[in-house]
């Protein structure tokens, strides 16, 4: 069962270097993913701000006299609403990556150990339902405070 100490040392060096290389590749890929989603989010934010500004400029003069359409409110809306879209795009990309990782890991786990995989899947679904119920309760409590 035990290998020759010399072979074991050579194999351990090989595998440790492979794991270091894998960590490096994973770090670079994570950086590139974050960078690309940030660039696309910035482009989307700039486009939305431009579209919002054009829509504001097409309004009648009397529209600007309303208190909710004052200069401060409009500039705040231009900066705040569009930047929230960028945050949502980054969050969405992260959720997609996490969902892909979960699906791939469960598919591999199903291949090797179907019984334990199904038990784990049932527990994950239960935890997801509890989380959604908790979020619903938080939302209801926030709405009741208004």
**Tens-digit pLDDT profile for residues 47-75:** 888 998 999 999 999 998 898 888 888 98
Q: What is the DSSP letter of 58?
A: T
- Cα separation of 109 and 14, whole Å? 26
At residue 44's C-alpha, the angle toward residues 43 and 47, to 5°, is: 85
**Quick one: pLDDT at residue 24?**
96
> Does residue 37 contact residue 89 with C-beta atoms inside 8 Å?
yes
**Quick one: pLDDT at residue 146?**
66
Tell me the pTM: 0.57
């Amino acid at each position: 069962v035990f290998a020759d100490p010399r072979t074991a040392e050579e194999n351990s060096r090989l595998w440790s270097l492979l794991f270091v290389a894998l960590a490096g590749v994973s770090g670079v890929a994570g950086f590139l993913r974050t960078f690309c989603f940030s660039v696309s989010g910035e482009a989307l934010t700039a486009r939305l701000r431009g579209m919002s500004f054009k829509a504001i400029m097409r309004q009648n003069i009397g529209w600007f006299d309303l208190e909710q359409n004052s200069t401060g409110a409009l500039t705040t809306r231009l900066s705040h609403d569009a930047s929230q879209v960028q945050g949502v795009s980054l969050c969405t990309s992260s959720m997609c990556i996490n969902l892909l990782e979960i699906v791939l890991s469960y598919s591999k786990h199903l291949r090797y150990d179907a019984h334990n995989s199904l038990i784990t899947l049932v527990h994950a679904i239960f935890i997801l339902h509890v989380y959604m119920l908790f979020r619903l309760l938080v939302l209801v409590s926030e709405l009741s405070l208004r």
